[in-house]
Amino acid sequence: MPPENLIDGRGIADQIHTETTLRVESLKARGIQPKLVFVRVGDDPASQVYVGMKERTSRRLGIESTTHVLPEQTAESELLALISRLNADPDTHGILVQAPLPNQIDAHRVFSAISPGKDVDGFHPVNVGKLLLGDSSGFVPCTPAGIHELLLRTNTRIEGSDVVVLGRGNIVGKPMAALLCQKSPRANATVTLCHSRSRTLKEHCQRADILIAAIGVARFVTRDLVKPGAVVIDVGVNRVSDPSAPNGSRLVGDVAFDEVQPIAGRITPNPGGVGPMTIAMLLSNTVRAAEALTR
């Protein structure tokens, strides 16, 4: 029997998939076939796995999807030209350029080239700005959007709570903090954003009602950092060596799950917590991009 305080990310992602499938059917009934296009540059093995998973789940939900695979040496101008064609294609509703990109390509320039209305990853400066302004017409990056849904759908009290976000990355930490500090009954948290230069990180963590770890350091959040009863969200994906594993390594999160789970109010398993929600929000965003055409 799994512990009772686990947040079932897979189950909640499945609920969202069911809702998304109904929206896809409604679009199809109106003659619109939602379509998500992935662009992958090079042969990064993790990117291949991530894009493959997202593509399979898209198809399962009835969203058409294709992947453009470009060679590692692709010039930035070639990638920008492809994005320009996809921006102009009326049948493409969402565009996702998978990070990391090779060194010769400026990721910021690439994400800024995607039309904001097709930027289902939420990385375009217009969407980043809308998030900060509390303008819900933009796309929110999928991982923080998924964590927000996990908190809402488990009836976690966000309003008035002390939230500590570990990590100020542009993909998770910063947008997470921006979402939860909004003046809205769905947010209204007091948010502290910690990073590698934070002087009193431990003390901040110890008073968090909700602790969100997104730093990419294996098992960083130990029991002594967590207030008993706190909600703990583990975003990290870290490969550590494990001689007993078939390929000599395995993936672990940023939270020392075995020691934190017994004192946490609720906690995400890892895997099976945040990861499935990231995909669920990507597909929900894609359908929203297609729905915008019908208004």
Q: Is 69 helix (H, G, I), strand (E, B) or coil?
A: strand
Of these, 130, 168, 204, 219, which contacts ligand NAP (CB under 6 A)?
168
Q: According to the binding rule CB under 6 A, does residue 236 interact with ligand NAP?
A: yes
Nearer to ligand NAP, 69 or 217 (CB): 217
From 29-37, 69-77, 129-137, 161-169, span contacting ligand NAP (CB under 6 A):
161-169
Please say whether the dihedral angle defined by the alpha carbons of residues 11, 146, 162 and 201, taken in this order, is positive or negative.
Answer: positive
Please say whether the dihedral angle defined by the alpha carbons of residues 193, 250, 272 and 124, taken in this order, is positive or negative.
Answer: positive
Q: According to the binding rule CB under 6 A, does residue 287 interact with ligand NAP?
A: no
Q: According to the binding rule CB under 6 A, does residue 7 interact with ligand NAP?
A: no
Q: Closest by alpha carbon to 214, among 251, 253, 188, 240?
A: 253
Instruction: Give the per-residue contact string, 112-151, with ligand NAP (x = CB under 6 A; - = no).
Output: -------------------------------x--------
Q: Strands, E, within the chain: which ranges? A: 35-41, 64-70, 94-97, 162-166, 190-194, 210-213, 231-234, 238-241, 249-252, 266-267
Q: According to the binding rule CB under 6 A, does residue 65 interact with ligand NAP?
A: no
Q: Which of 8, 119, 121, 209 is catalytic?
A: 121
The Cα-based distances of 191 to 137, 204, 231, 269 in angstroms read: 23, 10, 14, 23
Residue nearest to ligand NAP (CB): 169
Q: How many residues sit in the footprint of ligand NAP (CB under 6 A)?
A: 23
Check if 182 is active-site: no
In angstroms, the CA 213 to CA 49 distance is 23
In angstroms, the CA 24 to CA 251 distance is 33
Of these, 79, 178, 235, 290, which contacts ligand NAP (CB under 6 A)?
235
- Structure tokens of 33? 């076939």
In angstroms, the CA 216 to CA 21 distance is 33
Of these, 48, 115, 190, 238, which contacts ligand NAP (CB under 6 A)?
238
Instruction: Give the per-residue contact string, 215-234, with ligand NAP (x = CB under 6 A; - = no).
Output: xxx-----------------
* CB distance 150 to 7 below 8 Å: yes
Which residue ranges make up the site for ligand NAP (CB under 6 A)? 143, 166-169, 171-173, 195-197, 201, 214-217, 235-238, 274-275, 278
Residues annotated as catalytic are 54, 98, 121
